[in-house]
Amino acid sequence: MSAPATELVRLLTVRGESLAVAESLTGGLVAAEITAVPGASNVFRGSVTAYATELKRRLLGVDATLLAERGAVDPQVAAEMAAGVRRALGADWGLATTGVAGPDPQDGQPVGTVFVAVDGPLTAHRGSAGGGKVEALRLNGDRAEIRMESVRSVLALLLNELAGEQTGNERAQDTERNGGF
């Protein structure tokens, strides 16, 4: 279990919010990282490993035309996967990973091309979706390294969203817990 996964579970628990994950190239590694944390059952709704392109459409609602025109390794596909798993599993937050871990290129994209996405609830102070963010990654390394860095990156993406949305009260609790600064 990683420190980012532990912090993610802690923040979601404090906020009373839930999480669902849609995975392609990571094949369940994101869900495994989250569920390794004690107490994850309080916030983790579940995951969909949609490795096959047709499952991205059928289970997650990714637009068929988008998949036909651009393939599964695309930033908009990642965004639709995150929104789709959030909707399908009834979660406050959705995460998604799609990309090419190798050994061969896919959908015209080179090995190491990865898109991670987060989709979340509307927030009063922003007036827009808390999620809806996609990060493009160009990763080096072997298949295992690319997959693990994808896990780390998608968890960091949600952590950044959650940290940016903490209310004053949550920040005060964190400050008190961390020595007053």
Question: Which residues, 6 or more positions from 42, have their beta carbon under 8 angstroms from its beta carbon?
Answer: 9, 12, 13
149 or 171: which carries more pLDDT confidence? 149
SS (H, E, C) 133-156: EEEEEECCCCHHHHHHHHHHHHHH
What pLDDT sits at residue 163?
A: 86
CB atoms within 10 A of CB 7: 15
CA dihedral 95, 100, 101, 102 (to 10 degrees): 170
Q: How far apart are CA 84 and CA 88, in angstroms?
A: 6
pTM above 0.85, yes or no: yes
Q: What is the pLDDT of residues 61-103, one digit of tens each?
A: 999 999 999 999 999 999 999 999 999 999 999 999 999 999 9
What pLDDT, in 10s, does the model give residues 3-52? 999 999 999 999 999 999 999 999 999 999 999 999 999 999 999 999 99
From the list 21, 32, 30, the residue with the least C-alpha distance to 59 is 21
- Looking up tokens 């399908």 gives 88
Residue 132 has what pLDDT?
86
pLDDT(177) > 50: no
CB burial of 115-129 (b: ≥16 within 10 Å; e: otherwise) equals bbbbbbeeeeeeeee
pLDDT band at 181 (very low <50, low <70, confident <90, very high): very low
166 pLDDT band, cuts 50/70/90, is low
